[in-house]
Amino acid sequence: MDWIAGLRHELTTSLAFLTRLPIRVEMPLPLAAASRGFPLAGALIGGIAAAALALASWLGIPALPAALLAIGTGIAATGALHEDGLADSADGLFSSASRGRVLEIMRDSRIGTFGALALILSLGLRASALSVLVDGAAALVAVHAMSRAWLPWLMRNGSLARADGLAVAAGKPEGDAVLWAVGLGLVVAMIAIGIGPALLAAAVSAACALGVAALARQRLGGYTGDTLGAAEQAAEIGALLALTTLL
């Protein structure tokens, strides 16, 4: 069917951008036009991390080191794309500089104090939460799908903070693509961890992503590619922490 072929094309385009996997796309779509594929790409990334977690557990590695290995595998699969956005956003948004200077700080490839602390907290919170979950592998698939499902919504409804850059080149998703992305993220999460936990994780992850978007809007007047990465990280952390409350 045409819509299946279209979704497959969007998925491969999303994977080519969101991961370091050797994906070849003959006619890549603009990123916004491929946004339906974001949660599916996230599910695949989560599946790769889940496989690493399962292998580490099978080898008898304790829960916390196994969680760190799984998260590290996911980071390797994405090339630390979102972690880089988190670090840059933290350095800029938590500084006391003016808007123009904040944007300059966020483009600086060097990591400052706030960026380093944000990465430490991100890794620590995700690993500690994952280490106590009964089915961490399923949680990884669900959380990675949901955390990327909100990005098209932020792109659609937010204002651009710059006149150039990655976010500008990505464009704005159509309204139906946003609904597809959120719906697919929810379906993947429900299949992986059940309806109740999926709804809880979705609600918390959405709140976290919106919180980052609100901070970016206050400090910058809109979003950038970096703040989208930070929103994904916040959503991922929030979803994992939410799942720990169900233990």
DSSP string, 143-174: HHHHHHHTHHHHHHHSPBS-SSSHHHHH----
Residue 1 predicted with pLDDT over 70: no
Query: What does the pLDDT look like over 108-131, one tens digit per residue?
Result: 889 999 999 999 999 999 999 999
Query: Of the ranges 69-83, 86-100, 129-143, 160-174, which one carries the lowest mean pLDDT score?
Result: 160-174
pLDDT reported for residue 169: 85
Q: Which of 174, 135, 168 is nearest to 152 (CA)?
A: 174
Least confident of 12-16, 54-58, 147-151, 214-218: 12-16
pLDDT of res. 25 = 77
The residue with greater pLDDT, 149 or 3, is: 149
Q: Return the structure tokens found at 3.
A: 């819509």
pLDDT of residue 38: 96
Taking the model in full, what pTM does it have? 0.94
Contact present, 237 and 207 (Cβ < 8 Å): no
pLDDT of residue 2: 67
DSSP helix, strand, coil percent of the chain (3-state; round to 5): 80, 0, 20
Average pLDDT, the chain: 93
The whole-number average pLDDT for the span 17-41 is 86
Q: How much of the chain, in percent, has pLDDT values that exceed 70?
A: 98
Helix/strand/coil for 34:
helix
Q: Determine the Cα–Cα distance for residues 128 and 108; give it in Å rounded to an integer.
A: 30
Output the pLDDT for position 11.
Answer: 85
Angstrom distance (rounded) from CA 101 to CA 129: 35
**pLDDT band, very low/low/confident/very high, at 8 (cuts 50, 70, 90):** confident
How many helical (H) and strand (E) elements, i.e. helices and strands, does the chain have? 12, 0
Report DSSP state, residue 242: H
Residue 96 has pLDDT above 90, yes or no: no
